Amino acid sequence: MDFGEFREFGHASIEFIINYLSSIRERNVLSNVLPYDVINQLPRQIPEQPEHWRQILEDLENIILPGLTHWQSPYFNAFYPSSTSAGSIIGELLIAGIGVLGFSWICSPACTELEVVVMDWLAKFLNLPEHFLHENEGPGGGVIQGSASEAVLVAVLAAREQAVRRLRLSHPELSESEIRGKLIAYSSDQSNSCIEKAGVLAAMPIKLLPAGADLVLRGDALKQAIEQDVAAGLIPVICIASLGTTGTCAYDDIESLASICEKNQVWLHVDAAYAGGAFALEECSELRRGLDRVDSLNFNLHKFMLVNFDCAAMWLRDANKVIDSFNVDRIYLKHKHEGQTQIPDFRHWQIPLGRRFRALKVWITFRTLGAEGLRAHIRKHITLAKQFEDLVKADERFELIAPRALGLVCFRAKGDNEITSQLLQRLMERKKIYMVKAEHCGQLFLRFAVCGMDPKPSDIDFAWTEIQTQLTSVCAEQQVNARKAGELSELTHHLSGLHVTNETLQR
Ligand code: PLP
């Protein structure tokens, strides 16, 4: 493809994206396809001859788009948002266009240095403690990982290696494998699945401690677990707390957890994958309590901050603990400025060697929206969730299962779980809006998350009308079924009476 054709292809693709995003409300959020529908429309081999880009865009429209769930639709109310923005989309395009990798400073100095700058911008925007800033004298700093899962895994692996080194010094009578076999980590039973997975990948069991009835993990539960485990000869390594759990966006009590971790030399990591964006708002300053005492934390820009997936910020109070744990060098990776400046070689802060120039899309997004625009976006999600919460409260057929938290409302139809389950089934069949279910104390509930690039009050009304109408229809169907069941039992009763009479007559 020559540059002339490349230009035409590029312009047509931008048009395609703009048409898709600007008409997204016209599509059902869930697709109609069945398993193999997409596979069956595609050839099983690479085309032998190059094909024209127009044909490829046509196939994208006719084969791929009908098989998509539309994550940027405001009617996508499942999970948490995975938003994007014009600046971020262009940023992603430019990353691919420039095509650099930045695992060490020399590989592309601006790639590393821009990341240092945007991570400090972000830390200041979120009002994080100063020791997380690169510009601070200390060993702290921020890095962009691909996902919250990777950030948690990095924290778990680094905490594990630091604990092994410490124990080898303090207990020379123990072999390394004996130490590794005794390590144990903690989190709440409300934490995201990625935390349990990090334990599996790090070959270190993670105990999921029961959060209280309010779904919050506190220091007393951690203290009890640590005391039991230490008495049984185990070695506590790390506690992963959540600020904004996936189920209900509950906030663990960081202050009380920090007190227990500090006493027991346990690393404290905070997963604020979704809620971290709210640290930027003065009205949410309570959420930041205790962050000055944590060792590391992660926050997904690809959730609340209009940067497209993948982009997960991670901050370390002492990055040397990660660097020491992960530093595996080769002569071809060395460069003359290595170790002479405070500028990091980010390959030591992450799992892969290669790394994308994600800082570019973050930089462009922040500059095109400004801090004011970012704060306005988060506040808009909160306001829209309040609108939805008021609608739930005003209809006596529904109840809230937990207090609304940021852009998430957890609610259910009153009565047994069957009604909520049938309601969700109908909504999924109709494909107009998309929510997922969760469970707490045996009660099934629905999670309504405000999502999309530009959700509006009318989108909330649309979703609520759909939910109300479908509940009315589920209840009507239940009444018909109950009446039919009543009639059937009456008939059976009547027939069994006839049977007895018949038998009696025969005798
Ligand atoms: N932590 C929380 C609280 C989440 O809600 C999620 C996903 O929604 C994750 C972690 C996992 O995020 P990622 O897909 O970036 O690994």
Buried residues in 443-477 as b, exposed as e (16+ CB within 10 A): ebbbbbbbbbbebeeebbebbbebbeebbeebbee
Tell me how crowded residue 240 is: count the other CB atoms within 10 A of its CB: 30
Is ligand 1 within 6 A of the CB of residue 251?
no
Ligand 1 centre distance from Cα of residue 149 (Å): 7
DSSP 8-state symbol, 231: H
- B/e letters for 368-392, b = 16+ CB within 10 Å, e = fewer, are ebeeeebbebbebbbebbebbbebb
Whether 78 lines ligand 1, by a CB cut-off of 6 Å, is no
* Residue 482 backbone phi and psi in degrees, to 5: -65, -40
Intra-chain end-to-end CA distance of the chain, in Å: 96
Ligand 1 pocket check for 242: Cβ under 6 Å = yes
CB 45 within 8 A of CB 403: no
| Token representation of residue 124 | 């200041």
Ligand 1 contact via 436 beta carbon (within 6 Å): no
Quote the ligand 1 centre to 194 CA distance (angstroms): 7
Name residue 408's beta-bridge partners: 405, 449
What's the one-letter identity of residue 73? S
Name the residue at shortest CA distance from atom 5 of ligand 1: 246
Query: Which 3 state secondary structure label does DSSP give 230?
Result: helix
Q: What's the predicted TM-score (pTM) here?
A: 0.92
Ligand 1: does its nearest atom lie under 6 Å from the Cβ of 191? no
Overall residue count recorded for the chain in this entry:
507
Q: What is the mean pLDDT of residues 117-135?
A: 97
Cβ atoms of residues 444 and 483 within 8 Å: no
Q: pLDDT by residue (tens digit) across 165-213?
A: 999 999 999 999 999 999 999 999 999 999 999 999 999 999 999 998 8
Determine the distance separating the centroid of ligand 1 and the alpha carbon of 413, expressed in angstroms: 27
Average pLDDT estimate for 249-259: 97
What pLDDT is attached to residue 502? Answer: 59
Distance 24 CA to ligand 1 centre (A): 25
Q: Do residues 358 and 114 touch, judged by C-beta distance below 8 A?
A: no
Other residues' Cβ atoms within 10 Å of the Cβ of residue 67: 14
pLDDT at 498 over 70: no
C-beta 145 within 6 A of ligand 1: no
Q: State if residue 304 touches ligand 1 by the CB under 6 angstroms criterion.
A: no
- Three-state DSSP at 314 gives strand
| Predicted confidence (pLDDT) at residue 507 exceeds the cutoff of 70 | no
Looking at the predicted structure, is the pLDDT value of residue 278 above 70? yes
In short, whether 246's Cβ falls inside 6 Å of ligand 1 is yes
- Under the banding of pLDDT at 50, 70 and 90, the label for residue 340 is low
What is the pLDDT at residue 504?
59
Cα–Cα distance for residue pair 313/293, rounded to 1 Å: 18
- Alpha carbon of 365 to ligand 1 centroid (Å): 21
Q: Which residues of 150-164 are buried (b: 16+ CB within 10 A; e: fewer)?
A: bbbbbbbbbbbbbbb
Please report the pLDDT score of residue 418 as a whole number: 94
The token pair that represents 457 in the structure block: 């009050």
CA atoms within 13 A on the CB side of 351: 16
Residue 215: what pLDDT? 92
Q: Which of 188, 197, 274 maximizes ligand 1 atoms within 8 Å of its Cβ, making it the mutation to test the pocket?
A: 274
Beta bridge partners of 141: 316
Sort 133 into a burial class: Cβ within 10 Å, 0-12 / 13-18 / 19+: buried
For 67-89, what is each residue's pLDDT tens digit? 999 999 999 999 999 989 999 99
**pLDDT, tens digit (0-9, with 9 covering 90-100), for 351-372:** 999 999 999 999 999 999 999 9
Which atom from ligand 1 is nearest to the alpha carbon of 312?
A: 15
User: Is ligand 1 within 6 A of the CB of residue 80?
Assistant: yes
Which pLDDT does position 22 carry in this prediction?
96
Q: Which atom of ligand 1 is nearest to the CA of 146?
A: 15
Residue 312 beta carbon below 6 angstroms from any ligand 1 atom = yes
- DSSP-assigned letters across all residues of 141-203: EEEEES-HHHHHHHHHHHHHHHHHHHHHHH-TTS-HHHHHTTEEEEEETTS-HHHHHHHHHTT
Q: Residue of the nearest CA to atom 12 in ligand 1? A: 148
Mean of all residue pLDDT scores within the chain: 93
Q: Which of 14-23, 373-382, 489-498 has the lowest mean pLDDT?
A: 489-498
Nearest to 291 by CA among 264, 252, 325: 252
Mean pLDDT for 434-440 is 94
CA distances from 411 to 379, 401, 403 (A): 21, 5, 9
Task: Label residue 492 by pLDDT band (50, 70, 90).
Answer: confident
**pLDDT tens figures, 264-274:** 999 999 999 99
Share of the chain above pLDDT 70, in %: 98
Nearest atom (ligand 1) to Cα of 242:
3
pLDDT score recorded for residue 501: 59
C-beta of residue 400 within 8 angstroms of C-beta of residue 410:
yes
The rounded Å distance from CA 241 to ligand 1 centre is 13
On the question of pLDDT at 221 being above 80, the answer is yes
Cα(303) to ligand 1 centroid in Å equals: 9
CA quadruple 473, 479, 484, 485: dihedral, nearest 10: 120
Q: Which is catalytic among the residues 77, 192, 300, 308?
A: 192
- Does the active-site annotation cover 192? yes
